[in-house]
Amino acid sequence: MNLGNGGITLVGSGLSGPAGVVLNALRTTAFITEAGAGELSRVDLATGAITRIATGLSNPRGVVLSPGETAAFVAELGSGELSRVDLKTGSVSIVASGLTGPRGLALDAGGGAVFVTELNSGELSSVDLSSGSVTLVASGLIAPSGVALEPGGTSVLVTEANAARLSRVSLATGAITPVATGLSVPIGLILNGARTTAFVTEAGSGRISAVDLAKGTVTLVASGLSNPEGLALGGPAATCNDGNSCTTDRCDPLSGCVFVPLADAASCSDGVFCNGAETCASGVCRPEQPVTCDDSNACTADRCDPALDRCVNTAGTPPGEVGIIKFNDASTLEWSTIPNASHYNTYRGVFTITSGMGSLPAHYNHVCFESGDAQQNGATVAVDATDPKLGEIRYYLVDGESACGEGSLGTASSGTVRPNNSPCPTPP
């Protein structure tokens, strides 16, 4: 049924005296008591397929699911019992007996007890689901039928079929206060998601009405129904996700979304890779040590890339050839520093005036003259105190070196890379 326009759509047929109904948390399945057949059935809301779960129940009416949705609790009006039905096996066990016409059921706020309306005695009772003990909550109700827990868990709403009213019952005192009157044999009862409106089935008039719980006003929602009884609120399933990896998220049929903090030190993720592994602390995901991206290679630039969620180790390049080499005097060479060089290597080659040097690599014969600051006269200085022989011309080349290796000695005027057939040893 559409609560907006009162439109009615058939979901399933062939049920025998359907009475109570409850939906699973995902709102994909309805569990329905069949009073005429004494059965509890499962109805697929997408296909309308009906599956019998349990048989042999005595005029079953109200039904609620256990908090874990592994069992259903059923009020058996005929036998005066509250029974538990295992939804997997269909086995039935008695929780409590001696009730006088149990009809409506509602779980308490903790899920450990149910409130039961007793049609014949006009009472509202609470049944402990573990022990089966029955505690009287209120008396003096007139044919109480449906029951629903209100927000805060301090009161319930009850439909009184023979009094034509919806009433509020205090769980502390048992006091009964009418909320709305003039209803025609009100039976079923369900609250909207905001818990501000009660929807009530009126078996006497074949209607479903909405009751404003603050004002007590009654509004017709749908009519033309045949002896309507049970109600369940459908629609899309609630999405319970608080975006916090330090909580477990679930949908509670009574209180809505529930977010339970994980234990401290539990593993979690804040979605950020670079700040390292995270653990929970007081329900909050907190980073510990940032990711270490050091690959123990001095020739790489190491960083954590938040866009890629991984370490990036970028290989460096050797520093290359120095710029202009100048002579400060007849024996002292000097050059400027270049980026990334940790030290410099000086090479000396020789050619004669008659041979010429040319531009081919084969004509180069330089060898290492000074590795680093071996002469200890400055990192960018080399001194060659010896004199060339007669007719001998000396040439000098300098390159930089770093953890990434030794740079190039540059290129000849032809563009050919100068060879380095006798590289300087790397200083210790």
Contact between 135 and 125 under an 8 Å Cβ cutoff? The reply is: yes
Q: Which tokens hold the place of 427?
A: 């200083």
- Cβ neighbors of 243 (< 8 A, separation 6 or more) are none
Q: Which tokens hold the place of 87?
A: 């939804």
Contact between 201 and 230 under an 8 Å Cβ cutoff? The reply is: yes
- For 228-276, the pLDDT digits (tens) are 999 988 766 567 788 888 998 876 654 567 888 999 999 998 888 998 8
- Which sign does the torsion angle of CA 8, 11, 13, 16 carry? negative
Q: What percent of the chain has pLDDT over 90?
A: 68
In this structure, the strands spanning 144-149 and 134-138 are unpaired
What pLDDT does residue 195 have? 87
Q: Give all domains of the chain, ordered by start, each with its CATH number.
A: 18-222 (2.120.10.30), 238-316 (no CATH), 320-406 (2.60.40)
Residue 315 CB neighbour total at 10 angstroms: 9
User: CA torsion angle for 412, 415, 419, 423 (degrees, to 10)?
Assistant: 80
- For 134-176, the pLDDT digits (tens) are 999 999 999 999 999 998 889 999 999 999 999 999 999 999 9
Measured in degrees and rounded to the nearest 5, phi and psi for residue 163 equal -100, -5
pLDDT surpasses 50 at 361: no
Q: Which tokens hold the place of 331?
A: 């024996």
- For 393-425, the pLDDT digits (tens) are 899 999 999 989 999 998 888 888 899 999 999
The β-bridge partners of 189 are 200
The average confidence (pLDDT) of the chain is 90
How far apart CA 167 and CA 186 sit, in angstroms, is 11
Q: Which tokens hold the place of 393?
A: 């011309």
Contact between 94 and 82 under an 8 Å Cβ cutoff? The reply is: yes
